[in-house]
Structure 1
Amino acid sequence: MNHDEAVAYCLAKPGAVPDQPWENDLVAKVGGKIFAFLGGEGIGLKCGSDLDESGELRLAYPDAVTIMAYIGRHGWNSIALDGTVPDDELRELIDGSYAAIVAKLPKRLRPTG
């Protein structure tokens, strides 16, 4: 999966919208909350509830997955879109990040699609 494909997959999610809260840094949001950081050549996703849970992915792909700066302790990883992580697993990770954020939204902000 390349960067453009990852962006398209994220933005195809129900209620997903693009945003640029920082200069040249694209993110995908749902209900006003970020579920994917799409700047650069990688993607930042919520991969667990905390640093330990998100560590499983870093152990599986040590050359492609790193702790995200500032928010890594909350389960966020940076994932290189270089072919190391298989496309089907990337889609599952995007789905999981999206679902984790939607689950924490107030019911009135959750997408219905």
Structure 2
Amino acid sequence: MGFDQEVLVERGEMLSYCLGKPGAWLDRPWENDEVVKVGSRIFAFLGNGDREPTVGVKCGATREIADEWLHRHPVDACPMPYIGRSGWNTLRLDGGIDTDELTEAVDSSYDMVVAKLPKRERPTA
């Protein structure tokens, strides 16, 4: 699935992109906040659409690795509340992070989460 580089990523487009990953499914575990899971684990947080459009993804195995995003995009990336210390960042969809970087961040988050899943929960496709 591709995005038009001239248009900022819409929340719905990002949700569709996330749900296109093998084994991905939508969950609403907290008061309408939408997350996308693979197996039993979240790989993307999309919130409830009431705030600025963002995606929360695992940006590195450690906070130090994930901090690279903060250095490259100080206005459009920040550590996620509560789980930021584990390498999770919130990335703005309507800011200065280009579409390719956003989709690569989702891909990387998905891959890191799948790698930690028990084999019985990993997608076969």
Return the TM-score normalized by structure 1: 0.97
* 1:48 and 2:60 are equivalent in the alignment: yes
Partner of 2:19: 11
Instruction: Tell me the secondary structure at the aligned position of residue 100 of structure 2.
Output: helix
Deviation at 1:83, TM superposition (A): 3.7
Matched positions, count: 113
Superposed CA RMSD: 0.7
Q: What stretches of structure 2 of length at least 5 have no aligned partner?
A: 1-8
Partner of 2:35: 27
Equivalents in 2 of 1:103, 1:60: separation in Å? 26
Ranges of 4+ aligned residues in structure 1 off by more than 6 Å = none
Amino acid at match of 1:70: Y
Instruction: Tell me the secondary structure at the aligned position of residue 82 of structure 2.
Output: coil
Amino acid at match of 1:72: G
Equivalents in 2 of 1:28, 1:42: separation in Å? 13
Sequence identity percentage:
52
Choose which of 72, 76, 80 in structure 2 pairs with 1:68: 80
Return the TM-score normalized by structure 2: 0.88
Q: What stretches of structure 1 of length at least 5 have no aligned partner?
A: none
